[in-house]
Structure formats: structure tokens, C-alpha cells
Amino acid sequence: MIAGPVAAGAAVVAVQRRGRRRPHRRSHVVTVFRPLAELEVTQLPGSLKEITDGVEIRLAEAPGGRGTEIAVRIPEGSSVTDGEVRRALRETRSLLEAGDVLLPSGPPTTVPTALNRPLQMATQHGREGGLL
């Protein structure tokens, strides 16, 4: 029922973003609530380790005691996708902070229908999408 206004709002956001798009790909960044002194680029856990060779990773102290900013930039020509970076950053943050990556409920209680197929496709990639 809210799909119409949500789509309209999302379209406004998308237009605003297109208007600001820079010629080069930006970095994807998360802030992890761990001190910079505890982290090393080569020792980051999780799926970020798997894509290390295809991306540039930078660590910086976050202001205000918020921990460490992990910035990942995909260089020109890399085969790593934005979705893979988003997923890796989210999983790495969770591993560093919580020691684990939360899995969805299971076994599933839902049944596939024509109506929920788009939602199921979206949630299958729940950590790859978004704005990160």
C-alpha cells in the first residue's frame, strides 16, 4: 500500500544522487566500534579478506571515540562489485564488534508467490544492497 509514495520518495533520492554523482567511484565506508590500534588491513576478518586483492582498503581513526573507519575503494578494472564490498564491510563489522554475523531465521516459514518474488530476491541480497 505504501509502494507508490515510497517509490516516489526513492525516485527523488535517486535523482538527487545522480545529480551529485562524481566521475570516479567513491569509497564504501563503515565505522567499526573497535580501536584503530587493534586493526590491521591484512588481518581484517570475514569476507573482506576474500576480496582484499581486488580493492584498496584504508583504515582511519573515527572521531569522538567512535572506533575505526574502514574505507574500501574499488580500483578501475577490478572485478569486485559494489555489492560484494557492501556485504564484506557489513560482515566484517559484525565479526569485529559482535564476534559473529547474524543469520536469518530458519527454517523458513514462508511460501513463494508471484507477489513476494521481488521481496525474496531483495532479501537474498540483503547485505549487498542499500546505500553503504
Partner 1 sequence: MRALQWQGVNKLAVGTVPDPQLRNPGDVIVKVTRTVTCGSDLHLLGGYIPFMEKGDVLGHEFIGEVVETGPDVRNHRAGDRVVVSSFISCGNCWYCDQKLYSLCDNGNTNPAITETLWGQAPSGCFGYSHAMGGNAGSHAEYIRVPFADVGAFGIPDAVSDERALFASDSASTGWMGADLSGVKPGDVVAVWGAGAVGQMAARAAVLLGADRVIVIDRLENRLAQARQHAGAETLNYERDDIAGELRERSGGRGPDVCIEAVGMEAHSPGPQFGYDQLKQQLRLQTDRPVAVRDAIHACRKGGSVFVLGVYAGFVDKFPLGALMNKGLTVRGAQMHGQRYIPMLLDRMAKGELVTEHLATHVMPLDEAPRGYRMFKDKDDDCVRAVFIP
By CB under 8 A, name the binding residues for partner 1. 1-6, 8-10, 31, 33, 66-67, 86, 90, 93-94, 97-111, 113, 115-116, 119-120, 122-123, 125-132
**DSSP secondary-structure letter at 97?**
H
Shortest distance (Å) from residue 57 CB to partner 1: 19
41 or 119: CB nearest partner 1: 119
92's grid cell: 566484517
User: How far separated are the first and last CA of the chain, in Å rounded?
Assistant: 27
8 or 60: CB nearest partner 1: 8
Give the amino acid at 16.
Q
75 or 130: CB nearest partner 1: 130
Shortest distance (Å) from residue 53 CB to partner 1: 25
Cβ neighbours for 45, distance < 8 A, ≥ 6 positions apart? 92, 95, 96
Distance CA(8)–CA(2), nearest Å, equals 10
